[in-house]
Structure 1
Amino acid sequence: MKKILLFIVPLFLLSFLLLGRAQFQNDLTKNESLILFNEGKSLTDFSFDVTGGEHFTNQDLQGKWTLFFIGYTFCPDICPTTLAHLDSVYPKLTAQPYNDIQIVFVSVDPNRDKAEQLAEYVHYFNSEFIGVTSTHKELWPFVQNLGLIYSIVDQGVADPYYLVDHSASIVLINPEGEHHASFQATINTEGVFNVEMDLMVENIHQMYKNWH
């Protein structure tokens, strides 16, 4: 009888854990815009400029959950809209015990966006947001590594207000500095690409609680 119990108890615990894992996966699959990686994807090494002459590197991802969003300060719609929406959910996103989550805006327009200007731009939306940039040589492989893309439209023409086409998705990095998930943008009723923020926050909290 004792041998049977020794076998049944671990089996019950395993079944309970698998059931919880399945429920976790089911909850996440309710968000059709979510791309979740079963195993985190490593990021290429990077070093981006931030205000004060400092740098933001892979080391700054360790021990924190990080949301990356790419864009540029001259962006007329997607960037200010997304940053405003991120600010609106920020108190809920980073409420205890989820207070080790950081939001990083990566400018892919280094010709116009310098570190000091970028810091002023993101702090207009939220003083906790981080703005970073670098050269295209460094930005392009990093952006591709995240599964995103950008393209400069008519750069070098007389008009200083040239546009930059870029992905509107938000990328989640886990505390080991790996690409953990992506939240794809969809077109809202106003014709602007955006991420469903409340559902994103819910999903991030679920992943946070189930992390290792």
Structure 2
Amino acid sequence: MFDVLPRGLLIVLLALAGPSFALDREALLDEANLLLLPRERALPSIELIDQNGQPFNTDALRGRWHILFFGFTACPDICPTTLSDMRRLFGRLPAETREQLQLVLVSADPARDTPQQLKTYLDYYRAGFGGLTGEMQQLQRLSKALGLPFVPARETQGNYSVSHSGNLALVAPDGTLRGHIRAPLNLEGLQQALPQVIESER
């Protein structure tokens, strides 16, 4: 019977069936487009500014799980879609998993993305998302460390765009990079995989 079911539905059914159906970890991660690194990667100490205008150091990522991605508030497609999808995902996660996760939008467009602009933009989603901006050099250092590339705009006047990755980075409570959530986002897969990844670290 199982061989005629779509893969995503099969994974959900097996999860609901309980521990007697041990899910294959790799299949679960693959379904979620979640690539875990074979070894954790330390992040450098980088000084930025959060959406409240307060100094922020990457050392502050310690203590809980973070999902970070690069974007900008004037983005016409990738960023609003990602934030909307992540809001839906967080709403579906078990409370104990949701409490351990923080989503952070890191600006790839600091010329326009002031802390106040980030705050106004993120408040629209009413999901408690965080935002970071700062000097371009520091933002590029973090981009490289997280493996989330973006191309700074050559012109910062008028209606311009910024090319950036649609992937997200997963940072563990010890402050190390643990993996990437690859675009396009698979919300059903992530709903199953993220609690298992987080629980495995406890």
TM over 0.5: yes
Deviation at 1:32, TM superposition (A): 7.1
Match of 1:211 in 2: 201
Q: Which position in structure 1 is the counterpart of 2:15?
A: none
Give TM-score, length-normalised by structure 2: 0.81
How far 1:209 sits from its partner (Å)? 1.2
Provide the aligned length of Structure 1 versus Structure 2. Answer: 181
Residue of structure 1 in register with 2:174 after alignment? 176
CA contact (8 A) 1:146 1:179 kept: yes
Look up the equivalent residue of 2:186 and give its one-letter code: E
TM-superposed CA distance for 1:153, in Å, is 4.1
Larger RCO: Structure 1 or Structure 2 (Cα < 8 Å, ≥ 6 residues apart)? 2
Give matches, 1:100-115, under 5 Å: 100-115=100-115
> TM-score, with normalisation over the residues of structure 1?
0.78
Within the alignment, does 1:147 sit opposite 2:147 as a pair?
A: yes
Q: Is 1:197 aligned with 2:194?
A: no
1:92 match = 92
More off after superposition, 43-52 vs 165-174: 43-52
Deviations 1:4-63 (A, max 9, x none): xxxxxxxxxxxxxxxxxx966334443373221132111111122123431222232112
Task: Point out where structure 2 has 5 or more consecutive residues left out of the alignment.
Answer: 1-21
Q: Distance in 2 between matches of 1:174 and 1:121?
A: 26
Judged with a 3 Å threshold, the aligned counterparts in structure 2 of structure 1 residues 94 and 167 are, in CA distance, closer, same or farther, namely farther
Q: Which blocks of at least 5 consecutive residues in structure 1 are unaligned?
A: 1-21, 186-193
Q: Deviations over 1:149-180 (max 9, x none)?
A: 11134414x5x110100000011101101101
Q: 1:210 to 1:27 in 2, by over 3 A?
A: farther
Alignment identity in percent? 29
